[in-house]
């Protein structure tokens, strides 16, 4: 009953926000960023982040995090409004918000199962900087994925469902009720995004990945005992796709002598979209199908990984396989792009 009510209220809220934004022509996608919206022709309200922020504002058991949620959300709003366009400025502001967040809440990654990193993170300053870097990779990797319908919200729905599955079988020593409420909100956003009725934008992707990262770091740190052990590498598996998307993009741009901060349309999801669109000849269908295909692959990976959530070596192998498949797929679709 409560779940149905929350979903209904979210639907009413996003309809109200969409109507208001459209009438005021405020935060409506203007197709200025080709790397995000080149596959869509309609002007769509960037309202997903507002729905997520309201959810985090209401369903939150630690009010000390709210100023930082607000700060990262407002940064995204300013970016969506093109009030902050420089990628370097956004990166610096992100760094400051995340660093201060981790410092004041005394949060950091305490175990990675990579021996030399674990040795270094015994130093508190290194642990703080390393965790900040991980958040930066996650936020910007998630932002790279935005522009394909259902890709970002669908991916994080899978992440949340995986955690809830573990909790259902009493494997999680952490209060994940907030995860459940966030899931209900993301389901509503997914449905609206499926039909191109809302976008997450920078405000949505920044806030969503920031909050998910916070939950997962806390969950990992609270599940290192022998009776409730979740391998830290399992958290890496849950976040591998946006993280590797970011790292691969940086490497690719350095290799082609381009600025890593300059956006382009050569991410894997763009290449898959171009291939599907050449076969289907319908941008809207190819757009949504791209997100569904990528997330179906990640669903299979999570389904396999969850069976071995406490087996570090197997999860490491699974992450390595993901990287191999990503690179192979990228080269395959990049060659296909040359023939389209």
Residue found by looking up tokens 């956003």 in the block: 189
At residue 115, the pLDDT reads 86
**Residues for the chain: how many in total?**
340
Whether pTM exceeds 0.85? yes
Mean pLDDT across 70-91 = 93
Structural contact between residues 18 and 47, judged by C-beta atoms closer than 8 angstroms: yes
Q: Where residue 256 falls among pLDDT bands split at 50, 70, 90? A: confident
By 3-state DSSP, what share of the chain in percent is helix, strand and coil, each rounded to 5? 75, 0, 25
At residue 186, the pLDDT reads 96
C-alpha span between 254 and 231 (Å, rounded): 33
Structural contact between residues 230 and 306, judged by C-beta atoms closer than 8 angstroms: no
- The C-alpha angle with vertex 81 and arms to 79 and 82, in degrees rounded to 5, equals 60
Taken in order 18, 19, 21, 25, the sign of the CA dihedral is positive
CB atoms within 10 A of CB 313: 11
Residue 264: DSSP 8-state = -
Structural tokens at position 16: 């109200």
pLDDT at residue 43 greater than cutoff 90: no
pLDDT at residue 220 greater than cutoff 80: yes
Contacts of residue 154, defined as CB under 8 A and 6 or more positions apart, other chains included, come to 190, 291, 292, 295
Structural tokens at position 93: 């502001």
Mean pLDDT of the chain: 89
In the chain, what is the greatest distance between 2 CA atoms, to the nearest angstrom? 56
Name the residue ranges covered by the structural domains of the chain: 2-338
- The C-alpha angle with vertex 148 and arms to 52 and 42, in degrees rounded to 5, equals 90
């Amino acid at each position: 009953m409560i779940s149905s009510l929350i979903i209904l209220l979210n639907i009413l809220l996003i309809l109200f926000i969409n109507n208001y934004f459209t009438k005021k022509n405020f935060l409506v996608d203007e197709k200025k960023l080709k790397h995000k919206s080149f596959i869509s022709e309609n002007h769509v309200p960037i309202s997903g982040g507002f729905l997520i922020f309201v959810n985090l504002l209401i369903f939150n058991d630690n009010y000390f995090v709210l100023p930082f949620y607000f700060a990262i959300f407002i940064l995204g709003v300013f970016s969506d409004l093109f009030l902050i366009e420089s990628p370097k400025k956004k990166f610096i502001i992100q760094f400051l918000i995340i660093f201060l967040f981790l410092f004041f809440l005394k949060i950091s990654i305490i175990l990675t199962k990579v021996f030399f990193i674990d040795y270094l993170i015994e130093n508190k300053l290194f642990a703080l900087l390393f965790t900040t870097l991980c958040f930066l990779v996650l936020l910007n990797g998630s932002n790279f994925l935005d522009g394909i319908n259902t890709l970002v919200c669908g991916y994080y729905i899978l992440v949340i469902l995986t955690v809830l599955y573990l909790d259902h079988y009493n494997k999680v020593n952490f209060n994940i009720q907030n995860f459940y409420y966030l899931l209900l909100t993301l389901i509503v956003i997914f449905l609206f995004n499926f039909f191109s009725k809302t976008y997450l934008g920078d405000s949505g992707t920044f806030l969503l990945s920031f909050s998910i990262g916070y939950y997962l770091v806390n969950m990992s740190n609270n599940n290192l005992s022998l009776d409730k052990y979740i391998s830290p590498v399992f958290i890496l598996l849950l976040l591998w796709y946006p993280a590797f998307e970011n790292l691969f993009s940086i490497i690719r741009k350095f290799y082609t002598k381009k600025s890593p901060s300059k956006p382009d349309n050569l991410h894997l999801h763009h290449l898959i979209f171009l291939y599907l669109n050449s076969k289907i000849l319908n941008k809207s269908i190819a757009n949504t199908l791209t997100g569904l295909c990528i997330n179906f692959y990640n669903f299979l990976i999570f389904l396999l990984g969850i069976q071995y959530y406490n087996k570090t070596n197997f999860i490491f192998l699974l992450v390595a396989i993901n990287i191999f498949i990503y690179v192979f797929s990228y080269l395959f679709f990049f060659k296909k792009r040359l023939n389209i």
